[in-house]
Amino acid sequence: MAPIRARTPEKTLKQHGELALIERIRLRARSTLPASRKRLVPLGIGDDCAILAPPAGSEVVVTTDFSLEGRHFTLDRHPAASIGHRVLARGLSDLAAMGAQPLSVFLSLALPRSLSLNTRWLDGFLDGLLDLARKAKAPLAGGDTSESPSGQLLLDIVALGTLPAGTALRRQGARPGDRIYVSGALGGAAAELAVVLSGKRSRQPSHPHLYPEPRLRTGWMLRERRLATACMDLSDGLSTDLAHLCRASGVAAEIMLDQLPLHPLSRRASQPERLRMALHGGEDYELLFTAPADRKLPRSLGGVPLTCIGTIVSARPKSPILTQIDNAGRRSALLPGGWEHLR
């Protein structure tokens, strides 16, 4: 369905402030709730709370993620539509990691005064957000708006999903001997980010940084077919996230560097730089999961290739939690080099 264009003229937004902004978002958000899903969201934007009706026998999974100007994106380098897309992709990727189907999403939005009057920017932002919401069948059902006291754009996304009770994919569950897999390719987001930050136009056919695709179908199928013993999404970088998975499962891991599926966007970089982007770059929003060695996995799932990149081993005191093995068979500790706030 084509997005419903809001017709609120700039003057009205200025006169009526928050109410006009909410009305603008409410009108456009309607397109994210197809008739087939209305029984799951009996009430969207406009009351004290939204009302959701999860299917009988399901559990609800919930995640929240900040996207803050100057930390997760910039206003001068990121197109408005990319900012809207990315804030939602972060939340949906967490749902994919549990094997859940989106139920609805909520956006808290604190706008600098300049942007609150910039209907072109707002429409671009909503285009990016709502296009992905429609594609992922994730209706925008509410949120909050405020003026940003610091003058920086502040976004917080809440994503809710459903899955049959007791079936969620977890970070715990990986066992020694399990193979380690990733969906898609790694390092593409870091490669495109470098282009974006340099101020050049990103002209590649794919946009792993500006418009990452949350792997909802892949996660759902992994869970439905009981293929994975543990799963999470790659948001902070393989070296950081795999360590999280290992700690949650009480195991360690060995990674074969020459098996990493390097993203074609990094092909002009040196090999060490390509490896760095794949291991530590972060924000690839691919799935990282483990499966028993004797379980036959398809080459691709939900339209995305799957690649075996290593093996789960027993955790040993004084041994590194992650070991990398290069193509000459040399082993060394792989230290977490991914994204961590407040460090």
- Give contact residues for a copy of itself (rule: CB under 8 A): 17-19, 21, 42-43, 46-54, 56, 59-66, 68-71, 94-95, 97-98, 100, 104, 106, 108, 110-111, 113, 116, 141-152, 154, 156, 158, 160-161, 165, 168, 170-172, 232-233, 248, 340-343
Quick one: 54 or 176, whose CB is closer to a copy of itself? 54
**Shorter beta-carbon distance to a copy of itself: residue 147 or 258:** 147
Distance CA 335, CA 279 (A): 10
Among 323, 313, 324, which residue's Cα sits nearest to residue 178? 313
110 or 194: CB nearest a copy of itself:
110
Q: How many Å from the N-terminal Cα to the C-terminal Cα in the chain?
A: 43
The CB-of-203 to a copy of itself minimum distance in angstroms stands at 29
* Closest to 251 (Cα-Cα) out of 316, 192, 191, 193: 316
Q: How far is the CB of 72 from a copy of itself (least distance, A)?
A: 8
Instruction: Give which of 1, 71, 75 is closest to 31, Cα–Cα.
Output: 1
Closest CB 106 distance from a copy of itself, rounded Å: 5
Cβ-proximal residues to 53 (8 Å cutoff; 6+ apart), any chain: 39, 40, 41, 42
Q: Least distance in Å: CB of 180 to a copy of itself?
A: 17
Identify the burial level of 109 via C-beta atoms within 10 angstroms of its C-beta, where 0-12 means exposed, 13-18 middle and 19 or more buried. buried
Helix (H) or strand (E) holding 320: none
Residue nearer to a copy of itself on the CB measure, 122 or 278: 122
Nearer to a copy of itself, 64 or 271 (CB): 64
Minimal distance, residue 22 CB to a copy of itself, in Å? 10
127: its two tokens: 């285009």
CB 221 within 8 A of CB 301: yes
DSSP 321: S
How far is residue 343's CA from residue 334's CA, in Å, rounded to a whole number? 19
**Least separation in angstroms between CB 215 and a copy of itself:** 12
Choose between 152 and 206: whose C-beta lies nearer to a copy of itself. Answer: 152
Interior CA angle at 245 toward 241 and 247, to 5°?
110
Q: Least distance to a copy of itself from the beta carbon of 125, Å?
A: 15
CB-nearer residue toward a copy of itself: 111 or 174: 111
The Cα–Cα gap between 102 and 212 comes to 17
